[in-house]
Amino acid sequence: MAETRSFDDRDGWIWFDGKLVPWREANVHILTHAMHYASSVFEGQRAYGGVIFKLREHSERLRKSASILGFDLPWSVEEIDNACNEVLKANGLSDAYLRPVAWRGSEQMGVSAQATKPHLAIAAWEWGKYFDPVLAEKGIRLDIAPWRRPAPYTAPVHAKAAGLYMICTMSKHHAENRGYNDALMFDWRGQVAEATGANAFFVKQGKLYTPTPDCFLNGITRQTVMDLARRRGVEVIEKAIWPDELESFEQFFLTGSAAEVTFVQSAGPWNFEVGDLSRQLRQDYDDLVNRRLNF
């Protein structure tokens, strides 16, 4: 869902390198390495009723992503957890989206970044559904992205790295300009990968299928939904999925911390129904994050 207020001009607090600073003062220098060379990693997470869902997993992944890019964060997982909770409380938020982001600073300019220092900031704000709820209820429409997910030997594909999202933004803009809500991305081999910011799931004959995450993130929400499906006795199959298989699937939905569980009615020329299993898993996920389901 589009956010209408500018993100640099708000009231509130952002945790920045160990302390809370006023929102408008949370700035970095124009020569920050991350701005020029994409040396930045981030997380997206949601709080429900004042509790950040899967917070520990997100903090662990943030540190891992930074390590994959070659810089270590001086903050422990526990310290990052505490900082996220501190931001939520300082801004008086209960249901919110949080964005921890870590980056290399401005101590050195050029491709080499050996002398730069790592930085970490965490912001939180109220953010409703990622897609319009009325639209999402009947399923969103996906274009086929003109860009493909890179091979794991060409990019740090298992880090939640800012640079990897450049083609996501380009693909989403391309889709929106053509009247679609988002885009389905293939990988460098031509296999089905994911949407621009969410993992993909398909249903056929009561079984759940999802692409093997060998060149994109094995999302935290993805893993959660797979566990929920197995708890209901649903067989979950991770496999390479080629575009010509899409015609055989009955249902299609996306998962992500921002998107949660979002139904898909079409992707390119392929159409899908919003079926019972998709609805059940969305309900299970909603119950889980709102602590109506113990898991």
- Say what angle helices 55-68 and 220-231 make with each other, to 10 degrees: 140
Tell me which residues are annotated as active site. Answer: 160
DSSP string, 273-289: ---HHHHHHHHHHHHHH
**Which tokens sit at 203?**
């249903």
**Which tokens sit at 165?**
């999202």
**Which tokens sit at 241?**
């999925």
Residue keyed to tokens 């209820």: 137
Spatial separation of the C-alpha atoms in residues 90 and 192, rounded to whole Å: 41
The radius of gyration of the chain from alpha carbons, rounded to an integer in Å, stands at: 19
Nearest to 220 by CA among 199, 237, 195: 199
Q: Is residue 234 within 8 Å of 206, Cβ to Cβ?
A: yes
CA distances from 128 to 1, 4, 15, 180, 199 (A): 7, 12, 22, 20, 19
Helix (H, G, I), strand (E, B) or coil at 25: helix
Spatial separation of the C-alpha atoms in residues 243 and 158, rounded to whole Å: 23
